[in-house]
Amino acid sequence: MGKKILAIYYSQTGQLKEIIANFCKPLIEAGHDIDEVQIHMQHEFPFPWATKSFFSVMPDCVLAKPAPLQPFSLQYDKYDLIVLGYQPWFLSASIPFNSLMHDESFLKVIANTPVITITGVRNMWTNAFEKIKLMLINAKARHVGTIALFDRHLNLVSIFTIFHWLVGGRKTRYLGFFPLPGVSDKDIAHTENFGKLALPYLEKNEWNGLLQEFINVKAVDPKYHLMFIESKAGIMFKLWANHISKKENKSFWLAAFKYYLLIALFIAAPVVWVINTLLFKPFLSKHIRRKKEMLLKLN
């Protein structure tokens, strides 16, 4: 008898939808039942984004404030596996994901159910993932595996390309010669192989070892230099979010945050990273290995 699988996610660009479809393809071919649910907000976020609206969601996102979702229905009360898609926004779980994790009906379904989390990102996902792990623990879910696909181009290059996509609405080359934004088509198609890895675990309902297989094939591969930048930036984002949330004139402070972010991305982060690489990283190999291990410890 086929297994029941819920694939649930939010996607503006369609990238995460495509990633999850490729992951689920081997499960469908093996005869299992996929209930695909794309969630929507009652008040949808714009796409393409205007710069002002893009930065306006930062405080609520970082402070994990949910917003109302449109009603959605699930085929079953319980599933053998939940494939749970997420996006990081401002180094935190996105507002749609956070809202889903506050939905009482969904929390009943996810409790005591195996969950594989999947994301497709520019490159920084570890801060959001730490928060999502805690959400799943609090929901009593069985977090059995995770996949993180990312843009493989240089950090400063992908800043230009992703913003071009978000405000332009099309996945095209910025200025005609920059690389395409987002996760590459090759990496998206390769996600099917991760679904093949998960298939025998699903059919046996025995999940021990799946995460290590994902790590072995680099389905999830945290990069220390990005983890280092995120650890510093995450603290500052929370300070900014708390400050802005208390202000009546939020527009002024959101504009100030935008310019702070540009300075941090293009000046402060590279300088701090070079100093860390030259003076500290050579002596931190055990610390780095332990930090990655802790990040990928799901329960």
Tokens of 201: 């675990």
| Dihedral, 210, 218, 138, 234 alpha carbons, nearest 10 | 170
**pLDDT at residue 272, rounded to an integer:** 73
Average of per-residue pLDDT across 31-50? 97
Pick the residue with more confidence: 225 or 55? 55
What local confidence, expressed as pLDDT, does residue 280 receive? Answer: 64
Judge whether residue 279 has pLDDT over 70: no
Q: Which is it for the CA torsion 25, 166, 155, 235, positive or negative?
A: negative
Place of tokens 């299992």: 32
Which burial class, exposed, middle or buried, applies to 116 when counting CB atoms under 10 A from its CB (0-12, 13-18, 19+)? buried
Q: Which residues contact 199 (CB under 8 A, 6 or more apart)?
A: 26, 27, 30
The pLDDT of residue 220 is above 90: yes
Nearest to 34 by CA among 80, 95, 93: 80
pLDDT of res. 288: 82
Question: Crossing angle, helix 285-295 and helix 126-138, to 10 degrees?
Answer: 40
DSSP letter for each residue of 208-234 = TTHHHHHHHTTSS---HHHHHHHHHHH
Q: How many residues appear in the chain?
A: 299
* Residues whose CB is less than 8 angstroms from the CB of residue 242 and which lie 6 or more positions away in sequence, other chains included: 59, 63
Q: Which of 201, 171, 26 is nearest to 7 (CA)?
A: 26
- Backbone phi, psi, residue 190, to 5°: -65, -20
Domain limits of the chain?
4-222, 227-291
pLDDT of residue 166: 93
pTM of model > 0.75: yes
Q: Which CATH number fits domain 4-222: 3.40.50.1000, 3.40.50.360, 3.40.50.300, 3.40.640.10?
A: 3.40.50.360
> Other C-beta atoms within 10 Å of 130: how many?
17
Give the pLDDT mean for 20-37: 97
pLDDT band at 287 (very low <50, low <70, confident <90, very high): confident
Cα separation, 34 vs 8, whole angstroms = 10
Q: Which pLDDT band, with edges at 50, 70 and 90, does 210 fall under?
A: very high
Residue 263, C-beta contacts closer than 8 angstroms, at least 6 positions apart:
none
Quickly count: other Cβ atoms within 10 Å of residue 156's Cβ.
Answer: 11
Q: How large is the average pLDDT for residues 2-8? A: 97
Q: What is the Cα–Cα distance from 218 to 232, expressed in whole angstroms?
A: 25
